[in-house]
Structure 1
Amino acid sequence: MPFDPQDVRIRRLDYDSQIVNRSERPAIIPPIDETSVLDGHAMPAALKENIVPVPGQIETRLWLQLLSLHGELFASLNSMLNAEFGLSLAKFDVLAQLDRYSDGLALGQLSQNLKVTGGNVSGLVQRLLADDLISREMSSEDRRSFIVRLTPKGEALFRKAADVHKKHLGKRLENVSARELDGALSVLKSLSSKLHTESKKQSRKR
């Protein structure tokens, strides 16, 4: 349907009449910008400014966007690693953690680093042991704990997979500028830090 400025002005007047009784009418109403576009449809900037956000709406939209982005990249990476190396992305993440710790990791620490349950880690470890990509031995400090580390075969496979992983991400994001990526990374780091701080505060209250 073509954009009709007259229709917008009528709706604008309806909105003004609703808020004037609550003494919430803006002192200055900005001029209508009939060139503004939202979701493929023309919408006056003044009308957009007067839309009252629904509580929790922006947070939900952020959450859904993060899920969508994660799902898109996860699916393509998982498919690529499986096809080339017989590795799921979950297995790759375990190998990546162990690559950072040459002395190995206790299963509990590995679970914490990956932010998954102990049961999930145990299943992944069993499959990686069967593939001879990692080794497991009892901890010398705590005989109730086991330490897992990369085998030479696991280290060699991870090096190849990590290189392909990096190139694949670069290909998927090649149309996003370095400035955009850096800005997105800064925002996500800030959000992560604030959520972590809030979680610690909530833990102390318990």
Structure 2
Amino acid sequence: MDKAYVTINNVLVNLINEIWELEEKAIITEEFKDLTNNDMHVIEAVGTGDGKNMSSIARKLNITVGSLTTAMNSLVNKKYVERHRSEEDRRVVFVKLTPKGIRAFRHHEDYHRQMTQAVVDKLDETEMPVLLKTLDALAEFFAGYSKKKER
């Protein structure tokens, strides 16, 4: 293996681990101490709109509806989300953030904005396309790897 390959591998592995650990420290403040990093990502997937159905949220998170139901039960109990059934089809459950959930969403969104801005601020206009191409390649790898694992 050449030196550049080893360096890229080390940076990617360390970066993924650091992002996960630092994000948890940054977003789980005194106000949101009852949340986990996973809870915050469920809140992010629900978003701030009028509500989403459980199936679409589970797809976005790449988890089963059963796993999402467990997470939602906890978030409902903590008053971050509320559920209601569709009037047209009672089998369909919609989830919407409460005002407390919207505050958590905005807090998490701000952390991501700061992280992204810190990277963008270091780049000039010629470097941005290279970063976008690199991140696209990484996203393609993760998407393809995930599909391979499902087979």
Structures share fold, TM-score greater than 0.5: yes
Q: Scaled by the length of structure 1, what TM-score is found?
A: 0.54
Cross-structure match for 2:44: 96
Q: How does 1:53-92 map to 2 (within 5 A)?
A: 66-84=12-30, 85-86=32-33, 87-92=35-40
Query: What's the offset of the Cα at 1:113?
Result: 0.5
Deviations 1:55-80 (A, max 9, x none): xxx7x997775443221111101122
Cross-structure match for 1:177: 122
The 3 A distance-change label for structure 1 pair 194 and 69 is closer
Among candidates 159, 162, 184, match of residue 106 of structure 2? 159
Separation of aligned partners in 2, 1:120 and 1:98: 15
Query: What's the offset of the Cα at 1:157?
Result: 3.1
The 3 A distance-change label for structure 1 pair 65 and 160 is closer
Query: What's the offset of the Cα at 1:106?
Result: 1.3
Query: Is residue 136–residue 147 contact of structure 1 (8 Å, CA) maintained in 2?
Result: yes
Query: What's the offset of the Cα at 1:112?
Result: 0.4
The 3 A distance-change label for structure 1 pair 94 and 181 is farther
Between 190-199 and 90-99, the greater mean CA deviation after superposition: 190-199
Q: Kindly provide the amino acid, as one letter, of the partner of residue 69 in structure 1.
A: L
Q: Which consecutive unaligned segments of at least 5 residues does structure 1 have?
A: 1-37, 40-57
Separation of aligned partners in 2, 1:81 and 1:192: 24
Query: Is residue 81–residue 88 contact of structure 1 (8 Å, CA) maintained in 2?
Result: no
Runs ≥4 residues deviating over 6 A? 60-64, 197-200
RMSD: 3.6
The 3 A distance-change label for structure 1 pair 175 and 99 is closer
Cross-structure match for 1:118: 65
Cross-structure match for 2:91: 144
The 3 A distance-change label for structure 1 pair 161 and 147 is same
The 3 A distance-change label for structure 1 pair 189 and 125 is same
Query: What's the offset of the Cα at 1:194?
Result: 7.7
Q: Scaled by the length of structure 2, what TM-score is found?
A: 0.70
| Amino-acid identity (%) | 25
Query: Is residue 40–residue 104 contact of structure 2 (8 Å, CA) maintained in 1?
Result: no
Query: What's the offset of the Cα at 1:94?
Result: 1.7
Q: What's the secondary structure of 2:100's corresponding residue?
A: helix
Query: What's the offset of the Cα at 1:124?
Result: 1.6
Query: What's the offset of the Cα at 1:195?
Result: 7.3
Question: Of the two structures, which has the highest relative contact order with CA contacts closer than 8 Å and spacing of 6 or more?
Answer: 2
Q: What's the secondary structure of 1:128's corresponding residue?
A: helix
**Number of paired residues?**
143
The 3 A distance-change label for structure 1 pair 73 and 98 is same
